[in-house]
């Protein structure tokens, strides 16, 4: 069983992984103003797959054949990437991440309504608080933006992706899932070349794409390593570190100052998400005690 020291180390690794993901998205945001999203996905996807093929053997992860749920998960990631990057092009980095992190709240509601999982009144209350945070971020209906709805759409699609992830066979390794996902995202991005709007990338553009790919690959490796080091229910809470990191990067590089409404909504979303994770951990420990 992981010790407190293991959990602390895992938490630090998870924060580093989420920071790496945020840096990746900051580079993508910087490029999205002049490079089509599909082209960015294609170039970054190819680079991510190449990096993963180098890194996975060093991590002891073997490649195999993905099953249908791994492929469905990859298609879900493709849709998430399009929606998330489209939102990221128009919204501050912190706003996009805040809305995207409504996904765990959506996942809890989906698990109860569609998958038959038992969700008690406390977690339902947390779900309602989380959705009130989303509404706080969005403001009145007259203030809603298409980009904000795209970020929420990315969150909703990620729920479908995560449900598919749960159904991937244990025989399919995480390395196989990662490479399959990267390949499908790259191919989906490449398919947009038929629109004829791709542009020639400069050396600096390619360098930023390479840094984004390094951030994405580093984030994935750190994410997996963090989950393996510590208790899943404890380490998972540190995913929310991405929101303040994204807000800080937005402030440093684009001068984006979060509004009071945004900070209040983020607090409700993060608070409800953390409570849901904490409550699930308590229930899991109680079940283990009864069967132990």
Residue 178 to residues 45, 90, 183, 220, 257: CA-CA distances in angstroms? 11, 28, 9, 8, 34
pLDDT-derived band at 279 (thresholds 50, 70, 90) equals confident
The answer for residues whose C-beta is within 8 angstroms of residue 72's C-beta and 6 or more apart is 164
* Residue with more model confidence, 205 or 8: 205
| Among 58-72, 79-93, 218-232, 268-282, the range of highest mean pLDDT | 79-93
pLDDT the model gives residue 274:
87
The answer for residues whose C-beta is within 8 angstroms of residue 180's C-beta and 6 or more apart is 66, 70, 71, 74
* Residue with more model confidence, 230 or 9: 9
* pLDDT of residue 291 exceeding 90: no
Spatial distance between the Cα atoms of 114 and 73, rounded to a whole number of angstroms = 18
pLDDT the model gives residue 151:
94
Q: Other C-beta atoms within 10 Å of 126: how many?
A: 23
CB 123 within 8 A of CB 108: yes
pLDDT tens digit sequence for 79-98? 999 999 999 999 999 999 99
Region 207-218: mean pLDDT is 93
The answer for residues whose C-beta is within 8 angstroms of residue 256's C-beta and 6 or more apart is 92, 93, 94, 95, 247, 250
pLDDT-derived band at 3 (thresholds 50, 70, 90) equals low
Q: Alpha helices of the chain — where are they, by DSSP H?
A: 4-32, 37-58, 68-90, 93-100, 103-113, 121-138, 146-167, 174-191, 203-229, 232-235, 242-254, 260-291
pLDDT-derived band at 15 (thresholds 50, 70, 90) equals very high
- Annotate 129-149 with b (16+ C-beta within 10 A) or e (fewer): bbbebbebbbeeeeeeeebbe
pLDDT the model gives residue 58:
82
* Residue with more model confidence, 30 or 239: 30
pLDDT the model gives residue 232:
64
Region 168-197: mean pLDDT is 91
Spatial distance between the Cα atoms of 248 and 144, rounded to a whole number of angstroms = 24
pLDDT tens digit sequence for 43-87? 999 999 999 898 888 877 788 899 999 999 999 999 999 999 999
Spatial distance between the Cα atoms of 48 and 212, rounded to a whole number of angstroms = 9
What integer best gives the mean pLDDT of the chain? Answer: 88
pLDDT tens digit sequence for 99-151? 999 987 887 887 777 767 778 888 888 889 999 999 899 886 767 789 999 99
Spatial distance between the Cα atoms of 244 and 240, rounded to a whole number of angstroms = 8
Region 226-248: mean pLDDT is 82
Region 247-266: mean pLDDT is 94
Give the domain ranges of the chain.
4-291
**pTM for this entry:** 0.87
- Which candidate, 29, 54, 75, places its Cα nearest to that of 220? 54
* pLDDT of residue 237 exceeding 90: no
The DSSP 8-state label assigned to residue 292 in this structure reads: -
Spatial distance between the Cα atoms of 234 and 227, rounded to a whole number of angstroms = 9
pLDDT the model gives residue 175:
82
Spatial distance between the Cα atoms of 34 and 270, rounded to a whole number of angstroms = 33
CB 157 within 8 A of CB 83: yes
Spatial distance between the Cα atoms of 147 and 117, rounded to a whole number of angstroms = 32
pLDDT the model gives residue 63:
85
């Amino acid at each position: 069983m992981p010790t407190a020291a293991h959990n602390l180390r895992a938490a630090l690794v998870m924060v580093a992984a989420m920071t790496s993901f945020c840096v990746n998205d900051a580079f993508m945001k910087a490029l999205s103003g002049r490079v089509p999203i599909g082209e960015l996905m294609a170039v970054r996807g190819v680079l991510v797959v190449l990096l993963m093929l180098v890194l996975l053997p060093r991590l002891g992860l073997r490649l195999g054949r993905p099953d249908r749920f791994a492929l469905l998960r990859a298609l879900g990631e493709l849709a998430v990437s399009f929606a998330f990057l489209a939102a990221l092009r128009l919204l501050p980095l912190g706003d996009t991440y805040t809305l995207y992190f409504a996904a765990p709240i959506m996942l809890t509601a989906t698990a109860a309504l569609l998958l038959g999982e038992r969700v008690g009144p406390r977690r339902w209350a947390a779900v309602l608080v989380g959705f009130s945070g989303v509404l706080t971020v969005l403001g009145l209906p007259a203030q809603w933006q298409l980009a904000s709805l795209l970020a929420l759409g990315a969150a909703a699609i990620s729920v479908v992706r995560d449900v598919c992830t749960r159904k991937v066979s244990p025989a399919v390794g995480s390395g196989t899932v990662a490479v399959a996902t990267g390949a499908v995202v790259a191919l989906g991005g490449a398919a947009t070349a038929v629109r004829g709007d791709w542009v020639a990338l400069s050396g600096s553009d390619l360098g930023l794409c390479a840094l984004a790919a390094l951030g994405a690959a580093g984030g994935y490796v750190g994410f997996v390593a963090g989950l393996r080091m510590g208790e899943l229910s404890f380490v998972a809470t540190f995913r929310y570190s991405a929101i303040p990191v994204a807000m800080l990067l937005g402030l440093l590089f684009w001068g984006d100052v979060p509004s009071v409404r945004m900070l209040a909504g983020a607090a409700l979303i993060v608070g409800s998400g953390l409570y849901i994770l904490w409550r699930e951990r308590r229930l899991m420990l109680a079940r283990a005690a009864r069967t132990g």
